[in-house]
Amino acid sequence: MSGLSESVQGRILEWYDVEARDLPWRSDPDPWAVLVSEFVLQQTQMKVGLAHWYRMMERFPTIESMAAAPVEDVLEAWQGCGYYARARNLHALSVEIVSRKPPSLPSNPRDLQNLPGIGPYTSAAVSSIAFGYPVAAVDGNIRRIHARISAEERPKDRDTQTWADESLYRNRPGDWNQALMELGATVCTPRRPLCGRCPAEDVCLAVKTDEPTKFPASRKRNSKRIEGHALVIRTPFGIHLTKRKGSRLGGLWGVPITEDPKGIDVLCDNHHVEKHRSVGRVRHAFSHRDWNLEVWVAERNDGGLDPASVPISKLDERILETAGWIRA
C-alpha cells in the first residue's frame, strides 16, 4: 500500500498541533535532551518515563556531565527505568562523543547508528526531532497504526517501514514522527482506540471491521521461566550485596541468586550461613525472563552495606522489599 495522502497528513498534524502533550524536549529539541528521552522512554509509560527523564537531566544536564561521571553514577540515576544495558550504552555513547572534535552528536541517522545503543528507531527519532532530518521513525505505536489503517493482522516490518517512509511529511519530519507516535499512544491505543477522535478515521480499514483491536495480531512472547532462590543476608552494617556481571544486570549490585530450584542449600553454603528462613516470593518479568524466586533471609555478623548507597535493579529492590527493607 502507499503512504498517507497529503490531506490525511494535514489533519494528523493539525490534530497534533492542538492535542500534543506538553513535553519538555518538544518546545526546545536540544539533541541531548531528545536523546535522553529516547533512551529513557523505551518501553516505559510516559508518566513514569517523564519523571525519570527529569531525574536524568537534573543529574546529567549535558553530554559532557555524563561522560565525566563514572558509569555507577549513571546506573544509580537510572534506577527504576529498567534495562540497565541502555544506561551503560548511554554512558558509553557520551564518552565516545566527548572524545570527538567537535564533541557533538551527529545529525544523520547513519552516523547515529554507529554509536552504542542506537538502532534504526532511535537514530531516526533523534535525527528527525533534534535535527529536522527527513527520516521516518517506526516504533510500536506506528506499527499499530499502520496495521490498523491497512487492516493487516501481521504486516511485515519492511512493509511498515515502506508505509512510514511514504507517509513521512518531509517539511516537519520531527513533528510528523511525534504526531504518529502521539496518535498511537493517546488515540489509537492497543486495547481501546478512540476512533471517533482519530484524524485518520476516514481512511482506516480496521475501523470498518468493527473490531479494530484485532490489528495487529499480538506477537508471541517467548519468555524463559526461572524458578530459583534469592538470599538476603543481613548484618549489623547492612545487607550482603555484590556487583553483578553480565549483559542484563552487570554493574548493578544485588543479593545472591540461584536459578536452580533446588539450590538454596548450596547458596547458603557458598555464603557461609547456617540458618535461613523463607519470607515470601518475588515474581518479576524482564528481558524475556519470568523470574519466580523464593526469598530467604539469613544473618551474619560481618560485611554488608546499605542498599541505598549503590545502584540496584528493580528485581533486587523487590527482593529486598520482600525481606523487609524500605528505601529511605
Residues forming the site for ligand SF4 (CB under 6 A):
145, 148-149, 187-188, 193, 195, 198, 200-201, 204, 206-207, 212
Between 197 and 262, CB nearer to ligand SF4: 197
Q: CA-based Rg of the chain, rounded to a whole angstrom?
A: 23
List the one residue out of 106, 76, 86, 75 whose CA is nearest residue 41: 86
Q: Phi then psi for 115, rounded to 5 degrees? A: -95, 155
3-state secondary structure 163-220: HHHHHCCCCCHHHHHHHHHHHHHHCCCCCCCCHHHCCCHHHCCCHHHCCHHHCCCCCC
Per residue in 46-80, is it b (16+ CB within 10 Å) or e — as a string?
eeebbebbebbbeebeebeebbebebebbbbbbbe
Catalytic residue among 6, 14, 19, 38: 38
Q: In the complex, what is the shortest distance from the CB of residue 51 to ligand SF4, in angstroms, rounded to a whole number?
A: 28
Between 194 and 285, CB nearer to ligand SF4: 194
Q: In the complex, what is the shortest distance from the CB of residue 202 to ligand SF4, in angstroms, rounded to a whole number?
A: 8
Between 142 and 297, CB nearer to ligand SF4: 142
Between 8 and 74, CB nearer to ligand SF4: 8
Q: In the complex, what is the shortest distance from the CB of residue 153 to ligand SF4, in angstroms, rounded to a whole number?
A: 13
Q: In the complex, what is the shortest distance from the CB of residue 199 to ligand SF4, in angstroms, rounded to a whole number?
A: 8
Tell me whether residue 38 is one of the annotated catalytic residues.
yes
Q: Which residues are catalytic?
A: 38
